[in-house]
Amino acid sequence: MQARHLLFCLLAGAALVACNREPAATDASTPAPAPAPAADAQAEAHTFSDDINAGDFAELVKTLASDEFEGRGPGTPGGEKSVEYIKAQFERIGLQPGNHGAWFQDVPMTETTADESTALRFDVGGKAETLEFGDDMVIGTRSGEKEVKVQDSPLVFVGYGVDAPEQGWNDYAGVDVKGKTVVILVNDPGFHANDASLFEGKRMTYYGRWVYKFEEAARKGAKAALIIHDTAGASYGWDVVRGSWSGAQYDLRAADDPAPRLPAQGWITGEAAKALFADAGLDLDEMYKAANKRGFKAVPMKATVSFDLKSTISEKSSRNVIGVLPGTERPDEAVVYMAHWDHLGKHDGEEGDNIYNGAVDNATGVAGIIEVAQKFARTTPAPKRSLVFVAVTLEESGLLGSQYYVAHPAFPLDKTVGVINIDAMGVYGKSRDLVVVGKGNSELEDLLKAQTDRQGRTLEEESTPESGFYFRSDHFNFAKAGVPALYTESGEDLVEGGRAAGEAAAKDYNANRYHKPGDEYSDSWKLDGVVEDLQALYGVGRVLVDGDQWPNWYEGNAFRAARDKMMAGNNDQSHVGGKQETQAAGD
Ligand SMILES: [Zn+2]
């Protein structure tokens, strides 16, 4: 379901980090569905079976997506009800508290709202130019500082702002950007040059994501970074950038995030950049061409920027729920199943049904990991490695719950074998395929393929690999840290009705349910496809917890160096297929 869910995000211009980040659209013309029946009575009446089961799955979704849970908004009574319910399910199954003896993990966060009267004032060869917030640029800080003042910071054009040792590519080579403001192109050279020999051609790599570019600029000591927007490269228009960067922005507190942060970061429009470059004696089109070539050298611009960025800051918190099933032989090694529990809550003041129940997004994912947990707990022999089940919060606010978990993991990351993330499952019946988002990343896919082969299904790539959806859900935080992470979507080729039926179901979901009050549980859902998907994901974890494999990222993948580095001390670990891991970090 996620491909359609994600494709919709792309078309509708939803979010940048999580596709779900933007405020939900409301559709007054959609008739309000009947309210879900009271959850408590049903929960008491239901008897759970030992195996992955459509009836159990439906019961869990029905409860989590009921009006009583008020759309599971973090920091609301419905949100509290949600984490308590998930904890109760973990207890019922027989999991143990997973966060060093506790069921919950507090996730403190900072809410930052930039003052939109902020302007960027450039001095370009003695000529003054001003870019206004909204129409020309957006800017913000993740530093937690109420005021960031930048005075006459020199501009440096750093191409794509990429330092990728495994690609033999460094846009920062030979240039010192400390205290300066870097100007960066979005996406990566392979995309704009349309050259399959550069990076991964049209398919977006991690280096193409704006998140990466700001982090790299921070590592290099820049004062500020400005990304030049282009619609093709970003895969969305300026309206999306503008919408996503206006209003409240959510982050972990700077103190809880080990990665360095820039004092200020933002985007400027392509038109503004073109004029700015021209005044500095540079042709932006030529700069694109130069940046696409191997050996590109950063260009100091005859320009400086000054601004005074004021922000309103407040601190809040929400909770992850963590359960563990300890392994019998190697309890210190863990496989993680993850799903975000949060959704958009209840929107007071909206006419009609104002509860964003989030049944598909993502009560299905939470129900999925509970079903998988139950199967592991009830199946003999007991797993040799530990299993961790994490229901993360604040996905809709920018993947914060998973980011916090990775910074404060229940099991060390070099003891974490791999991660399987579920975000929105397809409820339209069995499909002939299963989709891997970001296919071609890690050896976890080989394990999954063995499962889908057995089911007589195919493993497919998502429909728009150039959009970089692999980098837009919770598992991405694990990937960035180096832990192999698998993210699947239900297939689109339905057994009943084929691709036409799959596409029609997707269209209906996107038009009437996605991020709307209409995302509710329905008795008409066909859940045999969900069961099959969960069995495949269970199968991957089963192989991992019964064996001693350490799947890695495929050779040449951007995340592999981080994994190799963290695993360098352990020489008893083998890849899928039993090949001994003997390489040291950095090779
Ligand atoms: Zn979601």
CA of residue 157 to ligand 1 center, whole Å: 36
CA of residue 561 to ligand 1 center, whole Å: 29
- pTM for this model (two decimals): 0.82
**181 membership: H or E segment, kind and range:** strand 181-185
Q: Is 257 helix (H, G, I), strand (E, B) or coil?
A: coil
Each residue's pLDDT tens digit in the chain (587 positions)?
Answer: 333 333 333 333 333 333 333 333 233 333 334 444 444 544 467 999 999 999 999 999 999 999 999 999 998 999 999 999 999 999 999 999 999 999 999 999 998 999 999 999 999 989 999 999 999 999 999 999 999 999 999 999 999 999 999 889 999 999 999 999 999 999 999 999 989 889 988 888 889 999 899 999 999 999 999 999 999 998 889 988 998 888 888 899 988 887 899 999 999 999 999 999 999 999 999 999 999 999 999 999 999 999 999 999 999 899 999 999 999 999 999 999 999 999 999 988 888 999 999 999 999 999 999 999 999 999 999 999 999 999 999 998 889 999 999 999 999 999 999 999 999 999 999 999 999 999 999 999 999 999 999 999 999 998 888 878 888 899 999 999 999 999 999 999 999 999 999 999 988 988 888 888 999 999 999 999 999 999 999 999 999 999 999 999 999 899 999 999 999 976 545 444 433 333 333 32
- Residues with Cβ within 8 Å of 24's Cβ and at least 6 positions away in sequence, in order, are 344, 347, 356, 515, 516
CA of residue 350 to ligand 1 center, whole Å: 22
CA of residue 43 to ligand 1 center, whole Å: 24
CA of residue 276 to ligand 1 center, whole Å: 39
Q: Beta strands of 196-298 (E only): which ranges?
A: 224-228, 248-252, 264-268
CA of residue 10 to ligand 1 center, whole Å: 14
Tell whether omega for the bond before 381 is within 30 degrees of 0, i.e. cis: yes
> Count of alpha carbons within 13 Å of 398, Cβ hemisphere only?
16
Between helices 528-546 and 364-378, what is the axis angle to 10°? 50
CA of residue 141 to ligand 1 center, whole Å: 25
CA of residue 348 to ligand 1 center, whole Å: 22
CA of residue 362 to ligand 1 center, whole Å: 5
CA of residue 252 to ligand 1 center, whole Å: 19
pLDDT in the model for residue 44? 61
CA of residue 133 to ligand 1 center, whole Å: 29
CA of residue 468 to ligand 1 center, whole Å: 16
CA of residue 474 to ligand 1 center, whole Å: 9
CA of residue 379 to ligand 1 center, whole Å: 29
